[in-house]
Amino acid sequence: MTDATRPALAPTALLVGASEVRIWGMSAAERLRRQLKRVNVTDVREQAEAPATGETLLFRLDHAYEQRLVEALAERPGATLVSDGVAVAANVPGANAAAAAAALAEGRVPAGTEALDSEGLAGSYNRKLRKREIAYVAPLNARSAADFEARSFAGSYKGVTDVVTKYVWPLPARIVTKWCAERGITPNQVTMVSLLLVFVALWLFWNGHYGWGLVAAWIMTFLDTVDGKLARVTMTYSKFGDVLDHGIDLVHPPFWWWAWIVGLPAVGLPLERPGLAVGIIIGGYVVQRLLEGAFLRLFGMHMHVWRPFDSFFRLITARRNPNLVILTVFTLFGRPDLGMIVVLWWIVLSLVVHAAQVVQGVIASRKAPVTSWLSA
């Protein structure tokens, strides 16, 4: 077998030093093992063990790393990550691993590698979460653990989302996420509770019990934030969990609004044309998703990250949480019917805006490529 046909050896990871600090209920070593598993590195060894031949990733345990840095380093042979002048991680050939580990233990850049800071290694645009930020690496000690958890939790948030998720949920969601992480509660378990609450809210709306239905709905939307953040900070996200979470998000909102309309006669406030209202809800939801999908297919990115206006409009567009805000306000004043009428008009107006975004994108693409303002 020639070198050209010999299968490449799987990468090895070497953990340098030690740390007793726990992050989100995990030791620094366990967190790194989970992070490395996400880049298909399962042979993770302590510094005292001899690394296998082949590509070797080295990480100091007295620092904590954002997942983007782990991914970027795995794809960058010959690179060393430097933070505040201290070399903390590197990608070297296995033959050089022992010498590189000794250098990292002293904070020195291993010989023959390129020193890069976080931005140089991973860039400044987080495409997965649709926001611009430099990936973090931080020294890890008892005093800094809380700050690191706060930063890693904030880093798990999408930069472009609705107003409730962006401004209301972060603080309570961080508290509940921490509580779940320390007790070993999994993201999928949280998601299953969310799914149960979807049906509870649906039944309550259908029967005109709007107050309790809104309580169930808001708890569900809160847990919908917690499960994703819990998965990211504990490195326990899975394909099944992702499909389940996004599947629930995709399917249930129009059925809630449909149930809301069905329940209005039970409180003596029926709509004059309920069939038309349901048609607007179902049709509007489908068309909105189609417009978003068309923009993504045409330009390779979400319409909400194109221009500052598009990101602002995502805060309030006719999605689940903004619609719930409208319905909650009107229900508090005893007029759930008027709340639904406002939601119907907001769905129509949002569709007009999204259709204009697609048309404007097509026109703009004739002059120059359509790119996100966040990646500039």
Tens of pLDDT, residue by residue, the chain (376 residues): 344 433 356 788 999 998 888 888 888 899 999 999 888 888 888 866 655 567 899 999 999 898 889 999 999 999 999 998 999 999 999 888 889 999 999 999 999 999 999 889 887 554 554 555 678 888 888 777 888 888 878 777 766 899 999 999 999 999 999 999 999 999 999 999 999 999 999 999 999 999 999 999 999 999 999 998 998 888 887 777 677 777 787 789 999 999 999 999 999 999 999 999 999 999 999 999 999 999 999 999 999 999 999 999 999 999 999 999 999 999 999 999 999 999 999 999 999 999 999 999 999 999 999 999 987 6
Which tokens in the block code for residue 241? 């969990």
**Nearest to residue 68, comparing CAs of 119, 114, 107, 31?**
119
Confidence at residue 361, expressed as pLDDT on a 0 to 100 scale: 96
Amino acid at 356: A
Confidence at residue 39, expressed as pLDDT on a 0 to 100 scale: 87
**Nearest to residue 11, comparing CAs of 76, 80, 62, 100?**
76
Which tokens in the block code for residue 201? 């809210």
Q: How far is CA 93 from CA 23, 58, 312, in A?
A: 30, 11, 46
Q: Please state, in angstroms and rounded to a whole number, the distance separating the CA atoms of residues 19 and 61.
A: 6
First to last CA, the chain: 47
Confidence at residue 308, expressed as pLDDT on a 0 to 100 scale: 94
**Nearest to residue 170, comparing CAs of 192, 200, 150, 186?**
150
Task: Enumerate residues 6+ apart whose C-beta is below 8 A from 336.
Answer: 210, 260, 264, 267, 269, 327, 330
> Which pTM does this prediction carry?
0.81
**Nearest to residue 150, comparing CAs of 123, 173, 117?**
173
**Overall residue count recorded for the chain in this entry:** 376
Amino acid at 84: D
Q: Which residue has the tokens 């969990």?
A: 241
* Distance, CA of 20 to chain centre: 28
Task: Enumerate residues 6+ apart whose C-beta is below 8 A from 271.
Answer: 261, 264, 277, 337, 340, 341
Confidence at residue 53, expressed as pLDDT on a 0 to 100 scale: 64
Confidence at residue 158, expressed as pLDDT on a 0 to 100 scale: 67
292: number of Cβ within 10 Å: 17
Q: Which residue has the tokens 């008009």?
A: 345
147: number of Cβ within 10 Å: 10
Q: Please state, in angstroms and rounded to a whole number, the distance separating the CA atoms of residues 261 and 89.
A: 57
Residues 16/58, Cβ–Cβ less than 8 Å = yes
Helix (H) or strand (E) holding 12: strand 12-16
Helix (H) or strand (E) holding 75: none
Confidence at residue 321, expressed as pLDDT on a 0 to 100 scale: 96
Burial of 339 (0-12, 13-18, 19+ CB in 10 A): buried
Q: Please state, in angstroms and rounded to a whole number, the distance separating the CA atoms of residues 183 and 157.
A: 22
What does 181-246 look like in DSSP terms, one character per residue?
HHTT--HHHHHHHHHHHHHHHHHHHHTT-HHHHHHHHHHHHHHHHHHHHHHHHHT---HHHHHHHH
